[in-house]
Amino acid sequence: MRKIGIDLGGTNIAAGIVDENGTIIFKKSVPTGASRPKEQIIDDIATLCRELTSEANIPFSDIESVGIAVPGGVDEKSGEILFTPNIPFSGINICKILSEKLNGKRVGIANDANAATLAEVFCGAAKGADNAVMITLGTGVGGGIVIDKKIYSGSNGLAAEIGHFVIQVGGEKCGCGRRGCFEAYGSATALIRMTKDELNTCFMSGEPTLMAESSKISARTAFDAYKQGDAAAARVIDKYITYLANGISSLINIFQPDVFIIGGGVSGEKQFLIDLLQPKVDEEDFARKANKRTRLCTAVCGNDAGIIGAAFAV
Amino acid sequence: MRKIGIDLGGTNIAAGIVDENGTIIFKKSVPTGASRPKEQIIDDIATLCRELTSEANIPFSDIESVGIAVPGGVDEKSGEILFTPNIPFSGINICKILSEKLNGKRVGIANDANAATLAEVFCGAAKGADNAVMITLGTGVGGGIVIDKKIYSGSNGLAAEIGHFVIQVGGEKCGCGRRGCFEAYGSATALIRMTKDELNTCFMSGEPTLMAESSKISARTAFDAYKQGDAAAARVIDKYITYLANGISSLINIFQPDVFIIGGGVSGEKQFLIDLLQPKVDEEDFARKANKRTRLCTAVCGNDAGIIGAAFAV
């Protein structure tokens, strides 16, 4: 079985031929040129599919299906893109149009975060799981839900907005308009805010901290200083991990999945992050005394997750 | 199609013959006698099944299957009861034992809150829905999740602990050991606490309130006084509804189900409750601008939900 997976991003369109093990046999990408008419972009995607197979010396007829991961809400059944904030595809049935350009090849669609979660289930950190929940900790908090090895996107294609459940009623302002969302406490952006707040406190009190030596504050600043025994950084990390563990425990209590996956920039801390989170999650998991508990881990598919997940989503 | 549904409670065992429309043709109940040996209780369940059919003049062979709703965690696949805090059934494969007592009849099992949600999907407030989430607002906050018309109970049978996601980190103490759970703000118990707090405030300030006339404070006290224009009751209801809507919006953002059902004692306020919640949910639903949005409603199956849902779960 060989399928094509396409990760349609705001900057690049990445495509790959994926085998039944989730290995990418051949991949290629082109700039999205998101400001161009959408017809041109879809033409580019069709060309990319043809080029992939010819350059990999695989007959196009050997490709079972084409899957597209999209940064927005989708209707998997109809193939329509419902809503994409950053590319001009809202309301377009990209599956139908692309299928016509590819001689009737079967084309499917998925939200990119959901596709990434599916990739982890088929050949990544959650391999073999039936049920998995993933959060991505970056500028915001994204998420994906896989139930019975299938993407769950709700009744309108917009489910799994896992960054937007409130963990602090009336708390920090969130980009979505609500206050106190998980995203406002668990994202890399939130960690940077907490780092800057602590730096201000240190500046006012005269307490020395290694974090002050960073030329640019990032999500790594506090982690790096913490690993060197910095007391102020320890306070930042403790605060961030407390909120993060709290949100994760809540999602585990709702889903009790086989595996809970953490992706996105902050997950680059890998086992170090898990070791900080696990004791706090152990305290708060409703099923903490159950024989079978959710395994917590970081994502492994990285930048290829969209391609792989898109392929498996069809 | 006729099935038997059994609602195994701490006080009573209620059983009914349910037809394909979810109508209970005949029902009967006996005391659970929860302190007795479990073998005796299972014998009583088997006898109840036989009596139901003979008293309803239906041959036992016409019964397709028997479903049991249990107040605790279950493994639907194996038929084992994993954990029941209030009846002595933890670790028992009740399906296997009961099936042997009923000449090999197919016997299945479900958590009672999940079964109640399934009842609403098959013949209640969420009839026709594929995906539904239900919360029950009583002493605690229980919940059920139905995805693709099937109960979702996670990978260990303990999912849908919807009362135990945190909406206020470090907030009110919850019975589960965490702080700030939805249950600690959304349950009838929480509403009673808020009512008592406001009564204390009124007592100290000398502000008159109709709520002071209640001989016993219940979850209805504030609602009743609010309907008569009482200002202090309005503050209680506004606070309670704000928290409740916040938790509901968060669950909608995660699941985007077709229908969100509110059951339990507080749901007796019916459309009055929905009318208070809807504007706040409208503000906070991430998909508030989507064409297809989650419908919010109160449960209709009432005390029969366990019987009906248990029957449909098999």
Supply the pLDDT for residue B185: 97
A83-141: pLDDT as tens digits: 887 788 888 999 999 999 999 999 999 999 999 999 999 999 999 999 999 999 998 99
Asked if residue A109 and residue A176 are part of one domain, the reply reads: no
Residue range(s) defining the domain that contains residue B91: 2-120+304-313
Q: Which two tokens stand for residue A128?
A: 């073999």
B 85-114 near A (Cβ less than 8 A): none
Interface check for A284 against chain B (CB to CB < 8 A): the answer is: yes
- Chain A positions touching B145 (Cβ under 8 A) are 254
Asked if residue A263 and residue A139 are part of one domain, the reply reads: yes
Is B292–A246 a contact, with Cβ atoms under 8 angstroms apart? no
Interface check for B295 against chain A (CB to CB < 8 A): the answer is: no
Supply the pLDDT for residue B84: 82
Give the phi and the psi of residue B144 in degrees, each rounded to 5. Answer: -145, 150
Strands B132-137 and B141-147: antiparallel
Q: Which residue of B has its CA nearest to A171?
A: B168
B 192-211 near A (Cβ less than 8 A): none
The strand pairing partners of A261, in sequence order, are A134, A297
Is A256–B159 a contact, with Cβ atoms under 8 angstroms apart? yes
Is B153–A243 a contact, with Cβ atoms under 8 angstroms apart? no
Is B254–A162 a contact, with Cβ atoms under 8 angstroms apart? yes
| Alpha carbons A274 and A276: distance in angstroms, whole number | 5
Supply the pLDDT for residue A262: 98
| Alpha carbons B128 and B149: distance in angstroms, whole number | 9
Asked if residue A277 and residue A177 are part of one domain, the reply reads: yes
A267-296: pLDDT as tens digits: 999 999 999 999 999 988 888 777 789 999
Asked if residue B63 and residue B133 are part of one domain, the reply reads: no
Asked if residue B89 and residue B146 are part of one domain, the reply reads: no
Q: From the CA of B67, how many Å to the nearest CA of chain A? A: 22
Supply the pLDDT for residue B137: 95
CB under 8 Å to B227, separation ≥6 — which residues?
A: B272
| Alpha carbons B266 and B138: distance in angstroms, whole number | 7
Q: From the CA of A262, how many Å to the nearest CA of chain B? A: 17
Intervals of chain B under pLDDT 50: none
Asked if residue A155 and residue A42 are part of one domain, the reply reads: no
Is B178–A249 a contact, with Cβ atoms under 8 angstroms apart? yes
**CA within 13 Å, CB half, A53:** 19
The strand pairing partners of A111, in sequence order, are A70
Is B168–A164 a contact, with Cβ atoms under 8 angstroms apart? no
Asked if residue B105 and residue B39 are part of one domain, the reply reads: yes
User: Which of A168, A250, A256 is closest, CB to CB, to B158?
Assistant: A256
Q: Which two tokens stand for residue A110?
A: 């998925």
CA A185 from chain centre, in angstroms, equals 17
Asked if residue B84 and residue B32 are part of one domain, the reply reads: yes
Supply the pLDDT for residue B287: 79
Asked if residue B226 and residue B84 are part of one domain, the reply reads: no
Supply the pLDDT for residue A86: 76
- Chain A positions touching B176 (Cβ under 8 A) are 286
**pTM (two decimals):** 0.93
Interface check for B146 against chain A (CB to CB < 8 A): the answer is: no
Question: How many residues are present in chain A?
Answer: 314
B 252-271 near A (Cβ less than 8 A): 253-258
Cβ(A226)–Cβ(A236) below 8 Å:
yes
CA B33 from chain centre, in angstroms, equals 22
Supply the pLDDT for residue B289: 74
Intervals of chain A under pLDDT 70: none
Provide the CATH number for the domain around residue A12.
Answer: 3.30.420.40
Asked if residue B253 and residue B163 are part of one domain, the reply reads: yes
Asked if residue A223 and residue A93 are part of one domain, the reply reads: no
Is A256–B153 a contact, with Cβ atoms under 8 angstroms apart? yes
Question: How many residues are present in chain B?
Answer: 314
Interface check for A73 against chain B (CB to CB < 8 A): the answer is: yes
Interface check for A179 against chain B (CB to CB < 8 A): the answer is: no
Single-letter residue type at B46: A
Interface check for B164 against chain A (CB to CB < 8 A): the answer is: yes
Is A256–B156 a contact, with Cβ atoms under 8 angstroms apart? yes
Cβ(B163)–Cβ(B135) below 8 Å:
yes
User: Which of A158, A169, A254 is closest, CB to CB, to B286?
Assistant: A158
- Chain B positions touching A156 (Cβ under 8 A) are 256, 287, 290-294
Q: How many domains does chain B have?
A: 2
Is 0.90 exceeded by the ipTM?
yes
Supply the pLDDT for residue B206: 97
Outline where DSSP puts E strands in A236-282.
Answer: 259-263
Asked if residue B143 and residue B94 are part of one domain, the reply reads: no
